[in-house]
Chain A
Amino acid sequence: MAKPHRDLVRDYRQDLRLFGSPPARAGLVAMVAALALLPMVVQDDFWLSVLIYVGITAVGAIGLNLLTGYCGQISLGHAFFIGAGAYVTGWVGSDLPLYLWLPTAALVGGLLGAVIGPFALRLRGHYLAIVTLGLVFIGEHLWRNWRGLTGGNSGTSVDAQVSLGPIDFNRVELAGEVYSRNQGYFWLVWVLVAIVALLVKNLVRTRPGRALQAVRDRDQAAEVIGVRAGRYKIGAFVVSSAIASVAGALFGSYQQFVSPDEWNLLLSIQYIAIVIVGGLGTVFGSILGAIFVGALPALIDRFGDAIPGVRTSVGGEGFISVFALNQAIFGVLIVLFLVFEPRGLAGIWLRIKAYFKSWPFSY
């Protein structure tokens, strides 16, 4: 008997599979291999540290996407939870091992989310966005004044243990080779990206995930069919805050020093940008968005000297500094991009996929 086509979905369970088709599975293997190999090929500390920050941002962005993309609640308060995670790590990270401080950070972030969520989520749409914006400023006030925890304006050093059993991520020894801190952190961070991505992906394909999307699409209709909209919104807020805290914990432990100047509105806006540029409601899109937003400036920075009119040093030629150019390009790209593809990077990805799915009969 002839086998059905690989893309044919015959029952519900097939439809729900995380990685349904053989190409998707092959892609997964390729991705895992790429992540495992990358730090060995790219030994350059600059690119490794850029990619580590990208990975940390990707974790946070996946969390925000759960709230904004899947549940339709726009939050500008992400920076607050990221800061909270970093400070928790600064506080407990030196006493607890990695497998305890990371969950502690998540727990604290989740608790904060559970306290704030019910109040914030009474509001909807733009009102919610601006109120969570207020959270960032109130948080900043807290970080500046709670000197015992945060060191006040002077900031605090974060001295977290990063070993897991025999592996010390500051100095990974593998088959006789010693890998640097940047290489070790690359693996740590990107393994966590994979774990968080899987968790969220798993969450959204099950009942709660479908409920979230129903709330996003029309919350009153969702209520009518028996979805407790309020409860799911708060749930999404809690999980999203917990994930943000994990991102903050990684940020703090990698940078080893954090100060209250870092958890500002710009950080929140950057996360929103990532989620929208990547594509709302896609986990893969968040990762793509983080790479785009984090690596593009680094790319322009690295090759700034080759661009005419750019001033790479004080007193040098040119009229615009690398960063200024960078920001302008970033702004122009966002505008162009959303004008032509409002669904974000993931939208482009889907288009390419759709093209090849029906290849050679694409039209």
Chain B
Amino acid sequence: MHRRITLAFVATLLVAGCGGAGNQGGSQGGGTAGAPPSTTGFDGTTIKLGVLSPLSGPVAVIGQPLTAGNKIWFDALNQRGGVAGKYKVELVQEDTLYKPDVTVQQYNKVKGNVVAFTQVLGTAPTLAVLPQLKTDKVLAAPASLDALWVREPNLLPVGGPYQIQVINALDHYLTEGGGSKDAKVCMMLQDDVYGEAGLQGLQYAAQKYGFTIANTQRYKTGTENFTGQIQALAGCQMVFLTATPTDAGKIWGTAAQAKFAPRWYAQSPAYAAAMAKSPITPYLQQTAIIVAEGTEWGDEKVSGMKDLVSRTTQFGPGQQPDYYLAFGYNQARAMTAVLEKAVQNGNLSRDGILNALNQLGKVSFDGLTDDYQYGPAETRNPPRSSTLFAVDPAKPFGLKTVKYNTSSDAARSFEFKKTG
């Protein structure tokens, strides 16, 4: 019996000796200037781009506007003719639930149909697909402001990383915000990788400006009662907050109840438009500064914002003003710059895309975020500037600019290292 099984097994192997897929990959194409030949994800007329984003689940509140931002940019681009005026862009959206394993599956699902990925949302999901991006030679734009991405050749980050935001916020606090080196500076952070990035920035600032972090409080997302943390922060003159809206609302609510009113500086994801029309609005108006990029929603003076608002009205009616929307929009713009370059080189293959990124110089975002110096991963230089906002219910997104595009020496000197 055993022998028969073995024989059958060997026989099946022999029959099946023609199913290798190991040599497939994106090395086709590769012509010189002229019309780029069709390749994976490009059929000669339409360029397909992948989007791996949590479109449902708790993080959908970020994934949905971000993806809408991607779409608004490309819809507007397509109306003008498309990449290089002739190639339309189509998005292939997949839901990742913000889970690394699902992201890997979805990546495998669409990688054979797309030229590149214009959005991969989340630090852990991005790290989970990074090894495969490298083997498959695929380019992806991560939708998180991690410093890790700057030196990765397969990634196309946009915007100033979280660390930069924190450093600029601290610079503002110490110069114009009424703080001094001897002030009691504290930190409250979400206990995950996003919180760690904020903490890293604060530690760098502490070392650069010579102050000490008096107290660091961590909390787990979904914490119901923040009394303990707020009490522990008592006496702090300035608290930097790295949080997401639901928790931030509770934190500020608890602080307002406890009559604890330090100067709050909060990273952009902590804020949601609903906060400008809630019971904590007066408290936030007095105490909070939100550090982000670009300008306030609807600011006609900044040309990028003017376009964004008119395009959102046209292509995304019903979309609420949102940072994530602007972020997705910027991502799509950076990806378009890469595609234009690749078309110019006449090569939209995977190698061609990576090559185009290496040749890419400075990309401007018309004031929505500062210029990003692309090129080979080692020489890239992300924006070093941030914008500080105060809460103002009269504004469309509830934020008014306090200081536009400010950039500190410390932020400029921050060095980005390659991931280990």
Contacts and interface: CB of A to CB of B under 8 A. Distances in A.
B104 A322 contact: no
Contacts of A7: none
Contacts of B71: 313-315
A155 B196 CA distance: 11
Interface stretch (B106-114, B201-209, B282-290, B393-401): B106-114
A244 to B, nearest CB: 16
Contacts of A45: 108-109, 111-112
Contacts of A312: 93
B100 A314 contact: no
Interface residues of B, number: 56
Contacts of B20: 40, 174, 177-180, 183
Contact of B22 (A41, A183, A255): A183
A220 interface: no
A29 B8 contact: yes
Interface string A299-318: 00110000000001111000
A171 B9 contact: no
A40 B128 contact: no
B91 interface: yes
Main secondary structure of the interface of B (DSSP, over half): helix
B127 interface: yes
Contacts of B24: 43, 180
Contact of A257 (B64, B131, B316): B131
Given A256-B131, A257-B124, A29 B101 contact: no
B56 A321 contact: yes
B258 to A, nearest CB: 27
Nearest to A145: B191
Contacts of B56: 321-324
B57 A323 contact: yes
Nearest to B63: A314
Interface in B126-143: 127-128, 130-132, 135
Interface string B171-195: 0000000000000000000011101
Interface stretch (A31-39, A67-75, A101-109, A199-207): A31-39
Given A29-B4, A43-B24, A45-B109, 13 more contacts: A40-B20, A43-B19, A46-B108, A49-B104, A152-B196, A153-B193, A157-B127, A171-B22, A181-B22, A256-B132, A262-B99, A314-B93, A324-B56
11 contacts: A46-B110, A174-B13, A174-B17, A255-B128, A256-B132, A261-B100, A313-B71, A313-B91, A315-B71, A321-B56, A321-B60
